[in-house]
Structure 1
Protein backbone atom coordinates (compact mmCIF):
# COMPACT_ATOMS: atom_id res chain seq x y z
CA UNK A 1 0.00 0.00 0.00
CA UNK A 2 1.38 3.38 -0.97
CA UNK A 3 1.06 6.50 1.15
CA UNK A 4 0.42 8.75 -1.87
CA UNK A 5 -2.47 9.06 -4.32
CA UNK A 6 -2.09 10.85 -7.65
CA UNK A 7 -5.41 12.69 -7.10
CA UNK A 8 -4.40 13.87 -3.60
CA UNK A 9 -1.44 16.11 -4.44
CA UNK A 10 -1.98 19.85 -4.65
CA UNK A 11 -0.40 23.12 -5.67
CA UNK A 12 -1.97 26.06 -3.82
CA UNK A 13 -1.60 29.76 -4.56
CA UNK A 14 -3.63 30.73 -1.47
CA UNK A 15 -1.94 33.11 0.96
CA UNK A 16 -3.16 32.00 4.41
CA UNK A 17 -3.11 28.77 6.35
CA UNK A 18 -6.90 28.70 6.59
CA UNK A 19 -7.40 29.32 2.84
CA UNK A 20 -4.93 26.58 1.90
CA UNK A 21 -6.46 24.06 4.28
CA UNK A 22 -9.97 24.99 3.08
CA UNK A 23 -8.97 24.51 -0.57
CA UNK A 24 -7.32 21.13 0.09
CA UNK A 25 -10.20 20.01 2.34
CA UNK A 26 -12.79 20.80 -0.36
CA UNK A 27 -10.94 18.58 -2.85
CA UNK A 28 -10.26 15.78 -0.34
CA UNK A 29 -13.92 15.78 0.74
CA UNK A 30 -15.10 15.61 -2.88
CA UNK A 31 -12.80 12.58 -3.39
CA UNK A 32 -14.10 10.88 -0.25
CA UNK A 33 -10.75 10.93 1.58
CA UNK A 34 -12.02 12.97 4.56
CA UNK A 35 -15.24 13.50 6.48
CA UNK A 36 -17.31 16.69 6.78
CA UNK A 37 -15.85 17.76 10.13
CA UNK A 38 -12.21 17.30 9.03
CA UNK A 39 -11.48 20.99 8.30
CA UNK A 40 -12.81 22.26 11.64
CA UNK A 41 -10.75 19.67 13.50
CA UNK A 42 -7.52 20.17 11.54
CA UNK A 43 -7.75 23.95 12.13
CA UNK A 44 -8.46 23.45 15.85
CA UNK A 45 -5.59 21.02 16.20
CA UNK A 46 -3.23 23.37 14.33
CA UNK A 47 -4.18 26.17 16.76
CA UNK A 48 -3.52 24.00 19.82
CA UNK A 49 -0.72 21.74 18.56
CA UNK A 50 1.13 23.53 15.73
CA UNK A 51 2.81 21.43 13.05
CA UNK A 52 5.38 23.77 11.51
CA UNK A 53 8.82 22.18 11.17
CA UNK A 54 11.93 24.34 11.22
CA UNK A 55 14.20 22.58 8.70
CA UNK A 56 17.25 24.75 9.44
CA UNK A 57 18.83 22.05 11.68
CA UNK A 58 18.88 19.82 8.57
CA UNK A 59 20.05 22.60 6.23
CA UNK A 60 19.68 26.36 5.97
CA UNK A 61 19.03 25.80 2.26
CA UNK A 62 15.73 24.01 2.85
CA UNK A 63 12.34 25.72 3.12
CA UNK A 64 10.30 25.02 6.25
CA UNK A 65 7.47 22.52 6.05
CA UNK A 66 4.33 21.76 8.05
CA UNK A 67 2.60 18.47 8.74
CA UNK A 68 -1.06 19.29 9.47
CA UNK A 69 -3.20 16.41 10.68
CA UNK A 70 -6.06 15.51 12.98
CA UNK A 71 -7.54 12.42 14.60
CA UNK A 72 -8.38 9.38 12.49
CA UNK A 73 -12.11 9.62 13.14
CA UNK A 74 -12.27 12.54 10.66
CA UNK A 75 -10.67 10.71 7.72
CA UNK A 76 -11.50 7.68 5.60
CA UNK A 77 -8.05 6.52 4.52
CA UNK A 78 -4.31 6.47 5.19
CA UNK A 79 -2.39 8.92 3.00
CA UNK A 80 0.20 11.64 2.97
CA UNK A 81 -1.19 14.62 1.03
CA UNK A 82 1.63 16.81 -0.34
CA UNK A 83 0.75 20.47 -0.87
CA UNK A 84 3.23 22.73 -2.65
CA UNK A 85 2.68 26.37 -1.74
CA UNK A 86 3.21 29.04 -4.38
CA UNK A 87 3.45 31.65 -1.60
CA UNK A 88 5.02 30.79 1.77
CA UNK A 89 2.45 30.89 4.57
CA UNK A 90 2.84 31.10 8.32
CA UNK A 91 2.58 28.10 10.62
CA UNK A 92 3.59 27.99 14.26
CA UNK A 93 6.61 25.86 15.14
CA UNK A 94 5.83 22.36 16.46
CA UNK A 95 8.75 22.56 18.93
CA UNK A 96 8.35 26.22 19.97
CA UNK A 97 4.71 27.26 19.35
CA UNK A 98 5.49 30.93 20.07
CA UNK A 99 7.66 31.01 16.93
CA UNK A 100 6.09 31.58 13.50
CA UNK A 101 7.67 29.90 10.50
CA UNK A 102 7.34 30.70 6.81
CA UNK A 103 6.31 27.35 5.34
CA UNK A 104 6.65 26.40 1.66
CA UNK A 105 5.43 22.77 1.59
CA UNK A 106 2.87 20.71 3.51
CA UNK A 107 2.81 17.00 4.15
CA UNK A 108 -0.78 16.60 5.38
CA UNK A 109 -1.35 13.30 7.14
CA UNK A 110 -4.65 11.46 6.72
CA UNK A 111 -4.70 8.44 8.93
CA UNK A 112 -7.69 6.37 9.94
CA UNK A 113 -5.42 3.92 11.80
CA UNK A 114 -5.18 5.10 15.43
CA UNK A 115 -1.84 3.35 15.89
CA UNK A 116 -0.29 4.76 12.74
CA UNK A 117 -0.17 8.56 13.22
CA UNK A 118 3.22 8.68 14.92
CA UNK A 119 4.54 6.12 12.45
CA UNK A 120 3.69 8.27 9.41
CA UNK A 121 5.06 11.39 11.12
CA UNK A 122 8.29 9.50 11.88
CA UNK A 123 8.54 8.39 8.24
CA UNK A 124 8.17 12.00 7.03
CA UNK A 125 10.84 13.17 9.48
CA UNK A 126 13.10 10.32 8.39
CA UNK A 127 12.55 11.26 4.72
CA UNK A 128 13.46 14.90 5.46
CA UNK A 129 16.58 14.03 7.46
CA UNK A 130 17.91 11.22 5.25
CA UNK A 131 17.26 12.65 1.75
CA UNK A 132 20.06 14.81 0.29
CA UNK A 133 19.30 18.54 0.48
CA UNK A 134 19.61 18.98 -3.30
CA UNK A 135 17.08 16.18 -3.82
CA UNK A 136 14.63 17.69 -1.31
CA UNK A 137 14.95 21.09 -2.98
CA UNK A 138 14.01 19.47 -6.30
CA UNK A 139 10.80 18.28 -4.65
CA UNK A 140 10.08 21.64 -3.02
CA UNK A 141 10.48 23.45 -6.35
CA UNK A 142 8.18 21.19 -8.38
CA UNK A 143 5.02 22.90 -9.60
CA UNK A 144 3.16 19.99 -11.17
CA UNK A 145 1.14 17.50 -9.07
CA UNK A 146 2.11 14.57 -11.32
CA UNK A 147 5.81 15.41 -11.01
CA UNK A 148 5.44 15.58 -7.20
CA UNK A 149 3.66 12.22 -7.20
CA UNK A 150 6.35 10.64 -9.37
CA UNK A 151 9.14 12.12 -7.25
CA UNK A 152 7.64 10.88 -3.97
CA UNK A 153 6.78 7.46 -5.41
CA UNK A 154 10.44 7.08 -6.32
CA UNK A 155 12.16 8.78 -3.35
CA UNK A 156 9.92 8.32 -0.31
CA UNK A 157 10.89 4.90 0.96
CA UNK A 158 7.93 3.72 2.92
CA UNK A 159 8.76 1.58 5.89
CA UNK A 160 6.14 -1.07 6.27
CA UNK A 161 5.17 -1.53 9.85
CA UNK A 162 5.88 -4.95 11.25
CA UNK A 163 3.75 -5.95 14.17
Structure 2
Protein backbone atom coordinates (compact mmCIF):
# COMPACT_ATOMS: atom_id res chain seq x y z
CA UNK A 1 0.00 0.00 0.00
CA UNK A 2 1.61 3.23 -1.05
CA UNK A 3 -0.01 6.57 -0.75
CA UNK A 4 2.04 9.27 -2.38
CA UNK A 5 -0.59 11.78 -3.50
CA UNK A 6 -3.07 12.13 -0.67
CA UNK A 7 -2.14 12.55 2.95
CA UNK A 8 -5.35 10.88 4.16
CA UNK A 9 -7.20 7.64 3.40
CA UNK A 10 -10.92 7.30 4.03
CA UNK A 11 -10.36 3.89 5.66
CA UNK A 12 -7.73 5.32 8.04
CA UNK A 13 -9.80 7.83 10.02
CA UNK A 14 -10.93 6.62 13.43
CA UNK A 15 -13.16 7.50 16.35
CA UNK A 16 -12.53 5.66 19.60
CA UNK A 17 -14.08 5.53 23.04
CA UNK A 18 -10.93 4.13 24.68
CA UNK A 19 -9.81 6.04 27.78
CA UNK A 20 -6.14 5.00 28.07
CA UNK A 21 -3.30 5.98 25.72
CA UNK A 22 -1.99 2.44 25.15
CA UNK A 23 -5.51 1.15 24.40
CA UNK A 24 -6.10 3.95 21.87
CA UNK A 25 -2.82 3.17 20.14
CA UNK A 26 -3.62 -0.58 20.16
CA UNK A 27 -7.10 -0.07 18.65
CA UNK A 28 -5.75 2.19 15.88
CA UNK A 29 -2.83 -0.20 15.27
CA UNK A 30 -5.19 -3.20 14.90
CA UNK A 31 -7.15 -1.33 12.22
CA UNK A 32 -4.05 -0.06 10.42
CA UNK A 33 -2.45 -3.53 10.44
CA UNK A 34 -5.62 -5.11 9.04
CA UNK A 35 -5.55 -2.59 6.16
CA UNK A 36 -1.84 -3.15 5.48
CA UNK A 37 -0.69 0.36 6.44
CA UNK A 38 1.68 -0.76 9.22
CA UNK A 39 3.88 -3.74 10.06
CA UNK A 40 3.41 -6.18 12.93
CA UNK A 41 6.06 -4.56 15.11
CA UNK A 42 4.55 -1.04 14.78
CA UNK A 43 2.56 -1.09 18.04
CA UNK A 44 5.44 -1.81 20.42
CA UNK A 45 7.54 0.89 18.76
CA UNK A 46 4.89 3.63 18.75
CA UNK A 47 4.01 2.91 22.41
CA UNK A 48 7.66 2.93 23.45
CA UNK A 49 8.37 6.11 21.52
CA UNK A 50 5.33 7.87 23.00
CA UNK A 51 6.46 6.92 26.51
CA UNK A 52 10.03 8.16 25.89
CA UNK A 53 9.32 11.11 23.59
CA UNK A 54 5.78 12.40 24.26
CA UNK A 55 3.84 14.05 21.45
CA UNK A 56 1.05 15.89 23.28
CA UNK A 57 0.50 19.46 22.15
CA UNK A 58 -1.09 22.15 24.32
CA UNK A 59 -3.36 24.00 21.89
CA UNK A 60 -4.36 26.81 24.26
CA UNK A 61 -2.13 29.19 22.28
CA UNK A 62 -4.24 28.57 19.16
CA UNK A 63 -7.49 29.85 20.65
CA UNK A 64 -10.02 29.50 23.43
CA UNK A 65 -11.43 26.03 24.18
CA UNK A 66 -9.53 24.20 21.44
CA UNK A 67 -8.98 20.60 22.59
CA UNK A 68 -5.39 19.44 23.03
CA UNK A 69 -3.97 17.07 20.44
CA UNK A 70 -1.13 14.57 20.13
CA UNK A 71 0.95 13.59 17.11
CA UNK A 72 2.17 10.03 17.76
CA UNK A 73 4.62 8.49 15.30
CA UNK A 74 7.52 6.08 15.06
CA UNK A 75 10.30 5.20 12.63
CA UNK A 76 9.48 4.56 8.98
CA UNK A 77 10.77 0.99 9.02
CA UNK A 78 7.58 -0.05 10.88
CA UNK A 79 5.11 1.35 8.32
CA UNK A 80 4.21 0.57 4.71
CA UNK A 81 2.91 3.93 3.48
CA UNK A 82 2.84 7.71 3.88
CA UNK A 83 -0.29 8.87 5.67
CA UNK A 84 -1.70 11.14 8.33
CA UNK A 85 -4.17 9.13 10.44
CA UNK A 86 -6.72 11.32 12.27
CA UNK A 87 -8.19 9.85 15.46
CA UNK A 88 -11.03 11.51 17.34
CA UNK A 89 -11.17 10.60 21.03
CA UNK A 90 -14.68 10.49 22.49
CA UNK A 91 -13.15 10.71 25.96
CA UNK A 92 -10.11 12.79 26.87
CA UNK A 93 -6.97 10.63 27.04
CA UNK A 94 -3.79 11.60 28.89
CA UNK A 95 -0.71 12.20 26.76
CA UNK A 96 2.37 14.07 27.92
CA UNK A 97 3.43 17.42 26.53
CA UNK A 98 6.14 17.26 23.85
CA UNK A 99 7.63 20.57 25.08
CA UNK A 100 7.40 19.78 28.81
CA UNK A 101 7.24 15.96 29.13
CA UNK A 102 6.42 16.08 32.85
CA UNK A 103 3.13 17.87 32.05
CA UNK A 104 0.11 15.61 31.47
CA UNK A 105 -2.38 16.87 28.91
CA UNK A 106 -5.94 15.73 28.31
CA UNK A 107 -6.02 15.12 24.56
CA UNK A 108 -9.13 14.84 22.35
CA UNK A 109 -7.63 14.35 18.87
CA UNK A 110 -4.62 12.60 17.34
CA UNK A 111 -2.78 13.06 14.10
CA UNK A 112 -0.83 9.79 13.85
CA UNK A 113 1.98 10.13 11.33
CA UNK A 114 2.96 7.19 9.13
CA UNK A 115 5.88 7.60 6.76
CA UNK A 116 7.98 4.82 5.27
CA UNK A 117 10.51 7.42 4.05
CA UNK A 118 13.04 7.97 6.87
CA UNK A 119 13.27 11.67 6.01
CA UNK A 120 9.58 12.23 5.36
CA UNK A 121 8.19 12.53 8.88
CA UNK A 122 9.37 16.11 9.27
CA UNK A 123 7.36 17.00 6.17
CA UNK A 124 4.18 15.41 7.57
CA UNK A 125 4.71 17.11 10.93
CA UNK A 126 5.16 20.44 9.15
CA UNK A 127 1.91 19.87 7.23
CA UNK A 128 0.02 19.28 10.51
CA UNK A 129 1.65 22.32 12.17
CA UNK A 130 0.77 24.50 9.17
CA UNK A 131 -2.81 23.25 9.32
CA UNK A 132 -2.97 24.20 13.01
CA UNK A 133 -1.50 27.64 12.35
CA UNK A 134 -3.63 28.41 9.28
CA UNK A 135 -7.04 27.11 10.37
CA UNK A 136 -9.35 29.49 12.26
CA UNK A 137 -9.89 28.59 15.93
CA UNK A 138 -13.63 27.95 15.48
CA UNK A 139 -12.89 25.39 12.72
CA UNK A 140 -10.22 23.65 14.83
CA UNK A 141 -12.64 23.46 17.75
CA UNK A 142 -15.26 21.99 15.44
CA UNK A 143 -13.13 19.31 13.73
CA UNK A 144 -11.44 18.22 16.99
CA UNK A 145 -14.91 17.46 18.36
CA UNK A 146 -16.23 15.60 15.30
CA UNK A 147 -17.28 12.00 15.98
CA UNK A 148 -18.03 10.98 12.38
CA UNK A 149 -15.00 9.56 10.51
CA UNK A 150 -16.46 10.65 7.14
CA UNK A 151 -16.89 14.25 8.33
CA UNK A 152 -13.31 14.29 9.70
CA UNK A 153 -11.94 12.87 6.45
CA UNK A 154 -13.88 15.34 4.26
CA UNK A 155 -12.89 18.34 6.35
CA UNK A 156 -9.18 17.44 6.48
CA UNK A 157 -8.98 16.41 2.82
CA UNK A 158 -10.45 19.75 1.82
CA UNK A 159 -8.22 21.79 4.17
CA UNK A 160 -4.99 20.02 3.23
CA UNK A 161 -5.83 20.01 -0.52
CA UNK A 162 -6.50 23.75 -0.35
CA UNK A 163 -3.15 24.24 1.38
CA UNK A 164 -1.38 22.32 -1.42
CA UNK A 165 -2.94 24.65 -4.00
CA UNK A 166 -1.78 27.83 -2.21
TM-score range, shorter chain: over 0.9
Q: 1:131-142 residue pairs with structure 2 within 5 A? A: 131-142=135-146
Q: Which runs of 4+ in 1 moved over 6 A?
A: none
Counterpart-to-counterpart distance in 1, 2:60 and 2:160: 20
Q: Secondary structure at the match of 2:61?
A: coil
1:109 to 91, 110, 113: 113
Q: Which runs of 5+ in 2 are unaligned?
A: none
Other-structure match for 1:74: 78
RMSD: 1.1
The answer to whether the Cα contact below 8 Å between 1:77 and 1:111 also exists between their aligned partners in 2 is: yes
Counterpart-to-counterpart distance in 2, 1:152 and 1:99: 28
After TM superposition, the score normalised by the length of structure 2 is 0.93
Counterpart-to-counterpart distance in 2, 1:135 and 1:15: 25
Q: Secondary structure at the match of 1:87?
A: strand
More helix by share: 2
Q: Which runs of 5+ in 1 are unaligned?
A: none
Cα-to-partner distance string for 1:9-41 (whole Å, 9 max, x where unaligned): 000000000000000000000000000000000
Counterpart-to-counterpart distance in 2, 1:62 and 1:98: 21
Other-structure match for 1:53: 57
Counterpart-to-counterpart distance in 2, 1:75 and 1:49: 19
After TM superposition, the score normalised by the length of structure 1 is 0.95
Cα-to-partner distance string for 1:33-88 (whole Å, 9 max, x where unaligned): 00000000000100111000011111232110000000000000000000000000
Counterpart-to-counterpart distance in 2, 1:7 and 1:20: 17
Q: Secondary structure at the match of 1:156?
A: helix
Counterpart-to-counterpart distance in 1, 2:134 and 2:140: 10
Q: Secondary structure at the match of 1:120?
A: helix
Q: Give the deviation of 1:156 after TM superposition.
A: 2.1
The answer to whether the Cα contact below 8 Å between 2:64 and 2:137 also exists between their aligned partners in 1 is: no
